[in-house]
A and B are shown apart, each in its own frame.
Chain A
């Protein structure tokens, strides 16, 4: 098995790191041996199924970043969604006891701050924030970074008021960077990453440099 240090999990919002956010994803997290398990459209029950069917069984990541639940909104009560998220985190803790879990609050939905979807999102996030997590779990709500000061959502960050733009992914990356640095150190000198991008490209772009060996 290749070494995997950083795991992303969730729904389309996380899945699209491999689409809209691809450049940043490769640049920032490629050297951190990232794998993105998120699948667009997933609800909590789908993540649980994936976990029950081997997703993390052979991996020993250092950090798992999860955001899930937005696809359950409308079908399930807020309390059920929150308890399912707690169950997913508990499953991570059980399967990979050494990994730290970065649990993100569900991203805002809808344009205006009084959108009914916002209340649902807030309901979930309030329950998650109030939960007594063990010290292997960090709960982080970065929604204020994605919204205007008055709480409105703008199209340059969340074009459809759900999924981030490239700029949105940048804001997201900046907001979680301290946690990622703390629990999942970069394996490459920063200078190399910034100059040459992901390791895969080193060989073609700069024949003089030998690619650093993977630990």
Chain B
């Protein structure tokens, strides 16, 4: 299904009189529809702000460039998305024409606090839609930990991860929980790297813009390196995507 909703005035019509809904989210969605959609893609990313921040020009970009320079990657994630939003996007053509080999999904952190069973069902439904609409293998990530210390939010995330980890019994789904890669041995989150994920990120991530005085390299926040390593190891192990060197 193609979902084209004109969000920009055609040439010759002033933008002021071309009615459009006032929704940044919808604007993002429809802009995504107008991107290069010629598949096959090696990897399609989906999820919320955490995945959204991989986007070109965003903070995950250095790792993207380093790891995925030679494979065809597309990021469909939109910041703030909850499970039903992803489901809606997928049902309205987000994957049309992409023909991905692998879809990586992490979703649920914005649903925090709701009934985990319902959210897990929603995630299952997203997986079903992926399977129906593509031939891709699916890498389902456990929701990343939040809060510096164990908390009710962490417990909720544990619950949801326990529920969705069972989906790996589906041969087309691989579940990975790489959340512990962000944690200190004592279970705390390193404040510098991760403290306020997925809220506006703190100092560790703002360091991206700084330069390493010695090597003139961007100072990478460690957590993104970990994500990149975890995921690209996973990708290589799980699925036959070879980086084309």
Among candidates A39, A51, A84, residue contacting B16 with C-beta atoms closer than 8 Å: A84
Please report which residues of chain A, range 71-85, place their CB below 8 angstroms from some CB of chain B when the two chains form the complex: 72, 75-77, 80-81, 83-84
* Cα–Cα, bound, A164→B5 (Å): 35
Nearest-neighbour CB distance to chain B for A118, whole angstroms, equals 20
Interface centre among A43, A44, A45, A53 (most CB of B within 10 A): A45
Residues of A within 8 A of B16 (CB): 43-45, 72, 76, 80-81, 83-84
Is B18 positioned at the interface, with any CB of A under 8 Å from its CB?
yes
Interface centre among B15, B19, B20 (most CB of A within 10 A): B19
Is B22 positioned at the interface, with any CB of A under 8 Å from its CB?
yes
Is B200 positioned at the interface, with any CB of A under 8 Å from its CB?
no
* Cα–Cα, bound, A44→B15 (Å): 9
State whether B14 touches A80 (Cβ < 8 A): yes
Please report which residues of chain B, range 7-35, place their CB below 8 angstroms from some CB of chain A when the two chains form the complex: 9, 14-22
Nearest-neighbour CB distance to chain A for B212, whole angstroms, equals 38
Nearest residue, chain A, Cβ from B16: A84
Nearest-neighbour CB distance to chain B for A71, whole angstroms, equals 10
Residues of A within 8 A of B15 (CB): 45, 72, 75-76, 80
* Cα–Cα, bound, A29→B186 (Å): 57
Is A111 positioned at the interface, with any CB of B under 8 Å from its CB?
no
Interface centre among B15, B16, B19, B22 (most CB of A within 10 A): B16
* Cα–Cα, bound, A77→B15 (Å): 10
Among candidates B14, B19, B20, residue contacting A76 with C-beta atoms closer than 8 Å: B14
* Cα–Cα, bound, A43→B14 (Å): 12
Among candidates B17, B20, B21, B22, residue contacting A80 with C-beta atoms closer than 8 Å: B17
Nearest-neighbour CB distance to chain A for B145, whole angstroms, equals 34
Residues of B within 8 A of A44 (CB): 16-17
Please report which residues of chain A, range 41-78, place their CB below 8 angstroms from some CB of chain B when the two chains form the complex: 41-46, 48-53, 72, 75-77
Residues of A within 8 A of B20 (CB): 45-46, 49
Q: 0/1 per residue, A175-186, Cβ < 8 Å to B?
A: 000000000000
State whether B19 touches A52 (Cβ < 8 A): yes
Nearest-neighbour CB distance to chain A for B140, whole angstroms, equals 35
Q: 0/1 per residue, B148-183, Cβ < 8 Å to A?
A: 000000000000000000000000000000000000
Residues of B within 8 A of A76 (CB): 14-16
- 8 tightest A-B CB contacts, nearest first: A84-B16, A49-B19, A46-B22, A48-B19, A80-B14, A80-B16, A44-B16, A84-B17
Q: Which B residues form the contact surface with A (CB < 8 A)?
A: 9, 14-22
Q: Which A residues form the contact surface with B (CB < 8 A)?
A: 39, 41-46, 48-53, 72, 75-77, 80-81, 83-84, 87
- Known contacts A44-B16, A46-B19, A46-B22; 8 additional CB pairs below 8 A are A45-B9, A48-B17, A49-B19, A50-B22, A72-B16, A81-B16, A84-B17, A87-B17
